[in-house]
């Protein structure tokens, strides 16, 4: 399979990098999404996790200068640690041509990954780690934190699922949609409008094994619909990130009936995720001009816009 070939080539690319803690790949290059052809050439999206982001760039500028245009070369050489960790704490470099592939590489420190997985500070990493990924290099502490992240994502998705007789695919679509709340890509239609559906359907086996088979908060019936055990879901809310849980608790009034309480919870979750994702998404977009260079940044944005509008036009016909 093409995905397997790409995964094998990722290991070759990683060998050229300075020391890393963990490396994960995501997106249609490594995880199947419905609607994409197997032989379509896709960008390989990597998250490279390191102990010290400043040291990583100092070394990578020596080993792999070809990865950086003039602007990011200057930025990574002189930026402070605080600057590199600004916004969502991750720095992306795009249009990295290596062998048969083109990479988009995000670099972030381990402590910031774990912080976002456990506390949903920006949801930038947490949202991506809730979906199917290919782990080229694993770290046990990160994987443990991600188990907490995925359990909380399932709790939130079950609370937000308001369809009559929802199916497992409905639930998986809700899970996939969490990271797009307030995202610039959706606001400016720079993403396939059916992206969430394709993610849910293409990664169904993954979601079954990582969510359905690891919980008793819902069960799938013979007709494919699911039955949600709300008392267990409400009990699981106590494990949500503290800031979100406090916001939910503040919104609930003892005089509310069950329906009003659930609606208030849904509103609090939606407002919280939209707020933090919008902030981090906007910040990362601005930061991308420095980390990828003006030309590459503009090319990436225009390619996304073109792709999103093209998909929208096809879906409307």
Which residues 6+ apart lie within 8 Å of 285 measured at CB?
184, 301
Which residues 6+ apart lie within 8 Å of 149 measured at CB?
117, 118, 120, 126, 129, 130
**Mean pLDDT over each residue of the chain, to the nearest integer:** 88
**Does residue 83 register a pLDDT over 80?**
yes
Q: Residue 298: which H helix or E strand, with range?
A: helix 294-316
Please report which confidence band the pLDDT of residue 54 belongs to, taking 50, 70 and 90 as the band edges: very high
Q: Where is average pLDDT lowest: 61-70, 91-100, 278-287?
A: 278-287
What is the model's pLDDT at position 190?
47
* Average pLDDT of span 68-85: 93
- Beta-strand pair 134-137/101-109: unpaired
Residues 86 and 208 sit within 8 Å (Cβ to Cβ): no
pTM of the predicted protein model: 0.89
**Does residue 36 register a pLDDT over 50?**
yes
Q: What percent of the chain has pLDDT over 70?
A: 86
136-190 pLDDT, tens per residue? 999 999 999 999 999 999 999 999 999 889 999 999 999 999 999 977 655 545 4
Following DSSP, what letter does each residue of 200-267 receive, concatenated?
Answer: HHHTHHHHHHHTGGG-SSEEE-TTSBEEE-HHHHHHHGGGS-HHHHHHHHHH--TT--HHHHHHHHHH
Among 180, 192, 195, residue whose Cα is nearest residue 308: 192
Task: Please return the burial class of 291, using the count of CB atoms within 10 Å of its CB with bins 0-12, 13-18 and 19+.
Answer: buried
Kindly provide the b/e burial profile for residues 10-19, where b requires at least 16 CB atoms within 10 angstroms of the residue's own CB. beebeeebbe
**Does residue 286 register a pLDDT over 90?**
no
What is the model's pLDDT at position 293?
75
Q: Residue 196: which H helix or E strand, with range?
A: helix 195-202
Q: How open is the CA angle 37-38-41, to the nearest 5 degrees? A: 85
* Average pLDDT of span 76-100: 93
What is the model's pLDDT at position 300?
54
Quote the CA–CA distance of 262 and 199 in Å, as a whole number: 27
Among 211, 142, 145, residue whose Cα is nearest residue 173: 211
What is the model's pLDDT at position 53?
97
231-252 pLDDT, tens per residue? 999 999 999 999 999 999 999 9
95-136 pLDDT, tens per residue? 999 999 999 999 999 999 999 999 999 999 999 999 999 999
* Average pLDDT of span 307-313: 48
Tracing tokens 């849980």 back to the chain, one arrives at: 245
User: Quick check: helix, strand or coil at residue 142?
Assistant: helix
């Amino acid at each position: 399979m093409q995905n397997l070939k790409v995964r094998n080539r990722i290991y070759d690319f990683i060998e050229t990098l300075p020391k890393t803690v963990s490396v994960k790949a995501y997106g249609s290059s490594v995880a199947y999404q419905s609607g994409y052809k197997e032989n379509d050439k896709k960008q390989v999206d990597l998250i490279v996790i390191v102990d010290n982001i400043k040291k990583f760039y100092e070394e990578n500028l020596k080993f792999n200068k070809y990865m950086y245009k003039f602007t990011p070369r200057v930025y990574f050489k002189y930026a402070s640690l605080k600057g590199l960790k600004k916004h969502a704490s991750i720095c992306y470099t795009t249009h990295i041509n290596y062998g048969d592939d083109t990479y988009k590489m995000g670099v972030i420190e381990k402590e910031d990954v774990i912080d976002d997985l456990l506390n949903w500070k920006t949801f930038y990493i947490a949202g991506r780690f809730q979906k199917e990924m290919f782990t080229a290099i694993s770290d046990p502490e990160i994987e443990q934190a991600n188990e907490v992240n995925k359990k909380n994502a399932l709790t939130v998705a079950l609370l937000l699922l308001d369809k009559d007789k929802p199916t497992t695919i409905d639930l998986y679509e809700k899970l996939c949609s969490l990271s797009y709340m307030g995202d610039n890509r959706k606001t400016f239609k720079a993403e396939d409008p059916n992206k969430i559906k394709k993610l849910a359907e293409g990664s169904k086996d993954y979601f079954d094994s990582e969510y359905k088979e690891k919980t008793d908060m819902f069960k799938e019936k013979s007709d494919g619909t699911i039955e949600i055990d709300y008392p267990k879901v409400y009990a699981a809310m106590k494990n949500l990130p503290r800031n979100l849980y406090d916001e939910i608790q503040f919104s609930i009034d003892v005089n509310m009936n069950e329906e009003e309480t659930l609606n208030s919870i849904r509103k609090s979750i939606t407002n919280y995720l939209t707020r933090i994702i919008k902030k981090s998404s906007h910040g990362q977009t601005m930061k991308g001009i420095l980390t990828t260079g003006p030309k590459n940044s503009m090319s990436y944005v225009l390619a996304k816009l073109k792709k999103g509008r093209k998909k929208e036009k096809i879906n409307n016909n």
